[in-house]
C-alpha cells in the first residue's frame, strides 16, 4: 500500500472528497473542547489539508505533518503558502511509520488522524504510540472507516454469487472494538460515534478511479479474478437510483485524553495526596 499511496501524491487532492468532509466534521468537534495546544501533529497527513486547518485554528502551536509516504510530505511542503514559509511557520515534516513514531514521550498536545487507522490490521500499536507521544492532558482526535463501508458493493458481491467468506473488500473494525482499544492503549474518557456519508457516481468506473487516485484501490477492494469482478460490477451497476450509483462510507469518530499515569515504568504505583 505504501507504494500505491506514494504514487498517488499528484492525484490525491482531486479525489479526496471524503477526507475533506470528514476533516471538516472533525474540526467541528474541536469547537466542543477547550484546549490551547503547544504542539500538534497531523498523523497520516496526506496532502496537508488537515495540518493547515489546525494551524489556522491554533496559530501559536508548533505544527508537525507526519506520513509514511515521502511524496505526500513533499506535496505538503509545496502546498505551504509562501508567507508561512517566509515566517518559518511551515509544518515540520516527519517521514515515519505510525507504529514507531520518532517523537519523544509527552511531546505532543494534540494528535489528529483523519482516515488512517483503518488501514492497519491492528490499530492498537498505533494508538499506544499516540498515547506515548501525548503529554498528560493531551487530546487524540481521529476518524476512520467502519464495517458498513461500501455496503452496496458488498451486496453486489452477494448478487454475483461471491460467498461471504470470499468477498475481497477490506473489513473494518467496529466502533465498540475501537473504544476498547483506546482503553487498552491507556487513554481515558473515550467518546465514540459514527455516521454514514454517501457519495454518488455516474458509474462504477468513477468509484474505482477515485480509489486509484487516492492510492487505496487495491487495499480497499482487494483482489478477485477479473471475470468475478465483471459480475460484481454488473450487479453494482444494476443498483442505480435516479441514474446514480451510491457508495456509502461508515465514518467512526473518536476522541480521548491522556490521563495522569497510575504507575511509573518499573511498575510502582503513583499515589497522590491532596
Share of the chain above pLDDT 70, in %: 93
* 43 bridge partner residues: 66
Q: Is residue 10 part of a domain?
A: yes
215 within some domain:
yes
CA distance 1 to 166: 21
Q: Report residue 10's pLDDT band, with 50, 70 and 90 as the boundaries.
A: very high
User: Looking at residue 207, which CATH number applies to its domain?
Assistant: 3.40.50.150
pLDDT number for residue 78? 85
Least confident of 95-99, 120-124, 257-261, 270-274: 270-274
Q: Does the residue 268 lie in any domain?
A: no
* Residue 11 covered by a domain: yes
- Confidence at residue 84, expressed as pLDDT on a 0 to 100 scale: 66
Summarised one tens digit per residue, pLDDT across range 12-56 is 999 999 999 999 999 999 999 999 999 999 999 999 999 999 999
Distance CA 152, CA 66 (A): 33
Helix (H) or strand (E) holding 67: strand 62-67
Report the chain's mean pLDDT, rounded to a whole number: 92
CA torsion sign for 179, 124, 102, 55 is negative
Q: List CB contacts of 178: < 8 A, sequence separation 6 or more.
A: 117, 123, 144, 192, 252, 254
Helix (H) or strand (E) holding 213: helix 204-214
Q: Which domain holds residue 225?
A: 2-257
Q: Residues 214-250: pLDDT tens digits?
A: 999 999 999 999 999 999 999 999 999 999 999 999 9
Give which of 12, 105, 31 is closest to 255, Cα–Cα. Answer: 31
List the grid coordinates of 137.
492532558
Domains: count for the chain: 1
pLDDT band at 79 (very low <50, low <70, confident <90, very high): confident
- Point out which residues pair with 194 in neighbouring strands: 252
Q: According to the model, what pLDDT value does residue 273 have? A: 45
Q: pTM for the whole thing? A: 0.91
Angstrom distance (rounded) from CA 106 to CA 207 = 41
Distance CA 80, CA 228 (A): 44
Whether 266 is covered by a domain: the verdict is no
Amino acid at each position: 500500500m505504501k507504494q500505491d499511496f506514494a504514487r498517488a501524491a499528484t492525484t490525491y487532492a482531486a479525489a479526496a472528497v471524503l477526507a475533506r468532509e470528514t476533516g471538516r466534521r472533525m474540526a467541528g468537534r474541536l469547537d466542543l473542547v477547550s484546549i490551547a495546544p503547544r504542539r500538534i501533529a497531523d498523523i497520516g497527513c496526506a496532502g496537508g489539508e488537515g495540518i493547515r486547518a489546525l494551524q489556522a485554528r491554533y496559530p501559536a502551536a508548533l505544527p508537525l505533518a507526519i506520513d509514511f509516504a515521502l511524496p505526500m510530505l513533499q506535496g505538503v511542503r509545496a502546498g505551504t503558502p509562501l508567507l508561512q514559509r517566509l515566517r518559518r511557520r511551515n509544518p515540520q515534516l516527519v517521514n515515519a511509520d505510525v507504529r514507531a513514531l520518532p517523537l519523544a514521550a509527552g511531546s505532543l498536545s494534540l494528535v489528529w488522524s483523519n482516515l488512517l487507522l483503518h488501514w492497519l490490521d491492528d490499530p492498537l500499536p498505533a494508538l499506544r504510540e499516540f498515547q506515548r507521544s501525548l503529554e498528560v492532558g493531551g487530546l487524540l482526535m481521529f476518524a476512520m472507516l467502519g464495517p458498513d463501508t461500501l455496503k452496496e458493493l458488498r451486496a453486489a458481491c452477494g448478487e454475483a454469487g461471491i460467498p461471504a467468506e470470499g468477498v475481497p473488500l477490506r473489513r473494518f473494525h467496529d466502533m465498540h472494538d475501537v473504544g476498547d482499544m483506546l482503553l487498552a492503549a491507556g487513554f481515558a474518557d473515550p467518546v465514540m460515534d459514527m455516521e454514514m456519508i454517501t457519495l454518488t457516481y455516474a458509474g462504477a468506473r468513477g468509484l474505482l478511479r477515485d480509489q486509484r487516485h487516492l492510492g487505496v484501490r487495491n487495499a480497499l477492494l482487494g483482489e478477485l479474478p477479473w471475470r468475478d469482478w465483471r459480475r460484481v460490477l454488473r450487479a453494482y451497476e444494476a443498483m442505480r437510483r435516479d441514474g446514480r450509483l451510491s457508495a456509502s462510507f461508515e465514518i467512526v469518530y473518536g476522541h480521548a485524553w491522556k490521563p495522569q499515569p497510575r504507575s511509573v515504568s518499573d511498575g510502582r504505583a503513583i499515589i497522590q495526596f491532596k
